[in-house]
Amino acid sequence: MANSQPHPVFEIRGLNFYYGPSLALKQISMDILPQQVTALIGPSGCGKSTFLRCLNRMNDTIPRVRVEGQILLAGEDIYAPDVDLASLRQRVGMVFQKPNPFPQSVYDNVAFGPRVLGMTREKAALDETVERSLKRAAVWEDVNGQLHDDALGLSLGQQQRLCIARVLAVEAEVILMDEPCSALDPIATGKVEELIHELKERYTIVIVTHNMQQAARVSDYTGLFWLGELIEFSPTEKLFTNPDHELTEAYITGRMG
C-alpha cells in the first residue's frame, strides 16, 4: 500500500547551530508537513526562536554564527552557497512577536513587498493583491475604509494581522510566527488563532509559543525544545495526552520549566 503521507515542505536533518563557540541547537531533525500548523514549545532560551530563524536564514544577520546539518525546502538545501536569500525569505515569511508595521499607510504596507520584488507594475493588479491579502488575513473589514491612513493608528491586533497580510502579499509558501500573540489581548489573540486555522488551508505554518494551551488549540504537530535539543516531536494530541518522554509530561503538567 502506498504511503499517503505528503512530502515534507521542510526536512531538517542533524541541525547544529552555533553562536560563536556556543552550541545553541543540537542535532535537530524533523519534517514539517504542508498545510499543517507545527508548534514549537519549551522554556525561554531553549532554542525555539533560533530554530525558527534558521528556516529562512534570519540568523545570517548575526555575527559569528555557524550551521551544520541540512535544512531542505522542497528538496533544496537552503544553506547551499548559491541560494538567493531574497527569494528564500519571499517563500518563507516571518511574523514577529511585536507587530512591526512600517510607518506608512495600510495600503503601502501590503504593497511594499510586491513593489520591491517587481511582482506587479499595474495599479489595478496591485489593488487586487492588497485587497486579497487583507481579506486572507481577516483584517479587510476593519481597514477597507482607511487604506490610506497610517498603519500605526490601528490596534495592536489589527497591526499583527496587517503584518500577516504583508507576508501573504508576496505569495509566501510558509509562514513563520514567533510568539505572534504575546503582545495581544485575549480577543485579538482569538482572532489571530482563528486566522491561523483558516490560513493552513493554503499555507504551511510554524509557530513558536510559550502558551501551551495555544499550541494545543492551533497546531497539528508539536515539538518540545529543551536546552537546545528537540526532546519530542509528534502529533499535538499525542504529545499532550500520551507523551513518550517523562520530561515532556513534566513540562506540560507544569512540574518542570
Q: What is the pLDDT of residues 113-136, one digit of tens each?
A: 999 888 887 899 999 999 999 999
Q: In what order do the strands lie in the sheet with 92-95?
A: 92-95, 174-178, 204-208, 37-41, 221-226, 229-235
Report CA torsion sign: 163, 43, 45, 60. Answer: negative
For residue 257, pLDDT beyond 70: no
Give the CA count within 13 Å in the CB-facing half-sphere of 165: 32
For residue 6, pLDDT beyond 90: no
Would you state the pLDDT for residue 2? 47
Would you state the pLDDT for residue 119? 86
For residue 1, pLDDT beyond 60: no
Specify which residues 10 forms β-bridges with.
32, 73
Start-to-end CA distance of the chain, whole Å, equals: 43
Question: How does pLDDT run across 159-206, given as a tens digit for each residue?
Answer: 999 999 999 999 999 999 999 999 899 999 999 999 999 999 999 999
For residue 235, the Cα-to-chain-centroid distance in whole angstroms is: 18
Give kind and range of the element (H or E) at residue 34. none
| Residue-range domains of the chain with CATH | 10-252 (3.40.50.300)
In angstroms, the CA 101 to CA 119 distance is 20
Give whole-number Cα distances, 100 to 152, 153, 230, in Å. Answer: 9, 12, 29
Mean per-residue pLDDT, 210-230: 96
What value does the mean pLDDT of the chain take? 94
